[in-house]
Amino acid sequence: MNATRWSLRWRSLRHRTAQTFLAVAALGAAVALPVVLLSVGGGVYAHELSSIEHSGYSISVETAGTHGISSGHALANRIDGIGGVAAASPLLSVPIDLFTTGGTVVPVLAEGVIPNAFQATQSAAERALLPSSFMLGDPSDTVHYANGTYTGASSGQLLLSTPLVQTLNISTGASIRLAPSSNASASAPFTVAGDFGLPPGFLGPSPLFVVLLPLSQLQSLVGYAHSPSGAILDEADSIQVAMVPALAANPAAVQRVAAEIQSLVPYYSVVSLSQQTSEIQNAQAVITGFYVGLSSIGLIVGLLFLVIILLRRVEQERQSIGVRRAIGVPAWLVARGILVEALGLTLAGVLAGVGGGVLTVELFARYGSGAVSEIAGLAVYDPVTLSLLGAALVGLAFVASALPVRRAMTLSLPEVLR
Amino acid sequence: MSVPDSTTIRLERVRRVYHAGEADEVRALDGVDLAIAPGEYLSIEGPSGSGKTTLLNLLGLLDVPTEGRVIWRGTPVERLAERERTRLRRTGIGFIFQRFYLLPTLTALENVELPLQANGIRGADRQRRARLLLAQVGLSDRERSFPHQLSGGEEQRVAIARALANAPQLLLADEPTGELDSVRAQQVLDLLEAAHRSSGAAVVVVTHNPLVAARAARHITMRDGRIVADSAGR
């Protein structure tokens, strides 16, 4: 019978098809949930960390609100003067309206940048998306800015994102107008200098309609150059700081520069990407703990279901168990039978759960809408995590089997064989 | 402690009380003395509730007495741990039940192999012995059949083969023909008698059926938990 031991187990499982199916389904559902959560959650964080690791800049200067950085040009210049800094790029993002000569109005996201600093703080992959005409006629944005007077000549050039160009069917050299609201009379004229590709979205849908223009020209357009009283605002959302290549991978040098920047602007948040990485990893640990906690509820329900099924089987097979014990089958062999059955059901449940979880994620990635599809597409199936999950469930299933085993061991033989 | 004893099993002043001290207390056995010698063939008769099955359970070491002694081949066993009693059942006692109690997921051959497997007999030897036993009960052609594919008579013959698998010194049968028609009942009784003759085991049959009891050499009658008649005069 040794050679056919597994076929006997299989026969026993088949003997109670509905119970076997229910137990495997319950355990499978319990396993699928953590597979989905941990794979997608892990994938999102891995993607986030990878994005940071491959950034072209090492330090970010930010404020709590939007457009909270004042004197963006001047501050960038001061940061540029710190030893080890390759470039400091202030960024301003504002939703505005684009008017074509044909009268079409399109809401777009305008990104104000200092072209040469912006290019220097982009990763190689991001730089590859920018056209050769990227400098927009004023590489350092000093002509129009004119030391904070904003009285210099405007280059009047901008770049459009490729999807915007395709939608509006606009070619290089075309004229368009930009305005802070749907009011063409408050608009300023620009010439399309080219188009640029969009990097993959960090998470969720990325804005497809984007225009890039010199920072000072955007500030003037939307009123972030001066206050109503005439004081210089020169606002930006953030300043990205790139280190010289020799120091970019040196955490101590990055920390030193971050500390120097912080001393310049003690009221702003100065964050190195290694700090961001650490914060993300901490957040990941917390979220993973939450996922594990959430999943454990499902796993406990699955295990309870397994125990109920096994107890039910012990009840249904009490005569068979009684006969085995009556004819002298040792108790440990009877117990082993129950444990092996629990193991078989659990392993089948784990396999079904992992398969079901992976299938669910892949279906979301393929057929989900928008952000769901994008997030599911980032899923990472870590064999170690999945193995640990399976091993933990098998271990818990063994512990949970103690109750049915005890029930089988305490059956009264005279009663069950009556 | 083992002492020289010529009996296969001996019960001394055995009482078995269920729910002792409670309102629904039942005295299933009340001071039973019984000695069964090797090779004896005895029947236990009596009305329902007289204590026959309780007595059989004690003889089969499936139960322990509330009071008194049970001595298996010279060894007191009433205080033995379940593990030890299981070992004694495995090596010395065969059971035949009224409802056959074959394991439904095992074939006839595998059912007969079960006690051999429990006794540590492995592989080909176990299968050879099981096939021989099935041949003895005339079921060589049904070894691959599952219990639900067998008739009642065939099931009981498989159960007899299973009971004989480990060459027991004591064979216990509880209403072995209770579920069978008269023709099949006779076949089963013939087999039991043949097994008794060939194995030399003591056979104890609990029955209501006078025809079954008639096959036995010694007749015990029970009433209200006591042995009220023993043809051996003991």
Question: A115 with A262, same domain?
Answer: yes
The strand order across the sheet containing B41-45 reads B93-96, B170-174, B202-206, B41-45, B218-223, B226-230
Q: Are B39 and B151 in contact (CB under 8 A)?
A: no
Q: What is the pLDDT of residues A216-245, one digit of tens each?
A: 999 999 999 988 888 889 999 999 999 998
For residue A56, being part of any structural domain is answered with no
Residues A46 and A189 in one domain: no
Alpha carbon separation from B54 to A9, A381, B26, B44, B61 (Å, rounded): 34, 61, 12, 11, 11
Strand order of the β-sheet with B67-72 is B26-36, B9-18, B67-72, B75-76
Neighbours of A87 (CB within 10 A): 22
In a domain, A223, yes or no: yes
The residue out of A267, A302, A324 marking a domain boundary is A267
Tokens of B80: 């033995």
Q: Report d(CA A349, CA A346) in Å as an integer.
A: 5
Q: Do residues A248 and A215 both lie within one domain?
A: yes
**How many structural domains is chain A composed of?**
2
Which pLDDT value is given to residue B191?
A: 87
- Bigger pLDDT: A3 vs B46: B46
pLDDT in tens, A21-50: 888 898 999 899 999 998 988 888 888 888
Q: What share of chain A is helix, strand, coil (3-state, %, to 5)?
A: 55, 15, 30
A230/A250 same-domain check: yes
Q: Quick one: A315 and A179 in the same domain?
A: no
Among candidates B54, B83, B101 on the partner chain, residue whose Cβ is nearest the Cβ of A323 = B101
Interface contact flag, A413 B57, Cβ < 8 Å: yes
What pLDDT does residue A12 have? 67
Taking contacts as CB-CB distances below 8 angstroms, the residues of chain B near A12 are 105
B178: helix, coil or strand? coil
Question: Could you report the per-residue pLDDT of B59-114, keeping only the tens digit for each?
Answer: 999 999 999 999 999 999 988 999 999 999 999 999 998 888 999 889 999 999 99
Taking only the tens place, the pLDDT of each residue in A132-185 is 778 888 999 999 999 999 999 988 999 999 989 999 998 899 999 999 976 777
Angstrom distances, CA of residue A184 to CA of A164, A165, A250, B171? 19, 20, 50, 107
Residues in B touching A318 (Cβ below 8 Å): none
Q: List the domain boundaries for chain B.
A: 40-62+82-230
Collect all residues from B whose CB is shorter than 8 A from any CB in A. Answer: 53-54, 57, 60, 62-63, 82-83, 86-87, 89-91, 93-95, 97, 101, 103-106, 110, 113-115, 117-119, 122-123, 126, 162-163, 166
Cα angle, residue B19 at apex, residues B18 and B23 outer, rounded to 5°: 125
Mutation site, A1, A334, A409, interface B, largest B CB count within 10 A: A1
Q: Are A60 and A240 in contact (CB under 8 A)?
A: yes
To which CATH superfamily is domain B40-62+82-230 assigned? P-loop containing nucleotide triphosphate hydrolases (3.40.50.300)
Contact by Cβ (8 Å): A114, A90: yes
Kindly provide the residue ranges of all beta strands, DSSP E only, lying in A273-405, ordered along the sequence: none
Q: Give the pLDDT of residue A15.
A: 66
- What residues make up the domain containing A32? 5-51+279-416
Q: Is the pLDDT of residue A280 over 90?
A: no
Least CB–CB distance from A319: residue in B89, B101, B163: B101
Q: What ipTM goes with this model?
A: 0.90
Q: ∠ CA(A25), CA(A31), CA(A34), 5° rounding?
A: 145
> Is A274 inside a domain boundary?
no
By CA distance, what is B63's nearest residue in A? A414
Residue A15: inside a domain: yes
Residue A57 lies in a domain: no
Domain boundary among A267, A290, A320: A267
Q: Could you tell me where the DSSP H helices lie in B49-122?
A: 52-59, 82-92, 108-118
3-class state of residue A109 by DSSP? strand
- Chain-chain contact of A8 with B126 (C-beta, under 8 angstroms): no
Whether A123 and A219 map to the same domain: the answer is: yes
Q: Which of B101, B119, B123 has the CB atom closest to A2's CB atom?
A: B123
Asked whether residue A161 falls in the same domain as residue A32, the answer is no
CA A227/CA A216 separation, integer angstroms: 14
Q: What is the mean pLDDT of residues B19-28?
A: 87
Task: Assess whether A38 and A80 both reside in one domain.
Answer: no
Confidence of residue A6 (pLDDT cuts 50, 70, 90): low
A-B contacts (CB, under 8 Å): 78
* Cβ contact, residue pair B105, A324, below 8 Å: no
Asked whether residue A210 falls in the same domain as residue A338, the answer is: no
CB crowding B64-103: b at 16 or more within 10 Å, else e: bbeebebbbbeeebbebeeeebbbbbbebbbbbbbbbbbb
Confidence tier at A2 by pLDDT (50, 70, 90): very low
Instruction: Return the pLDDT at A204.
Output: 47
Q: Give the pLDDT score at A201.
A: 57
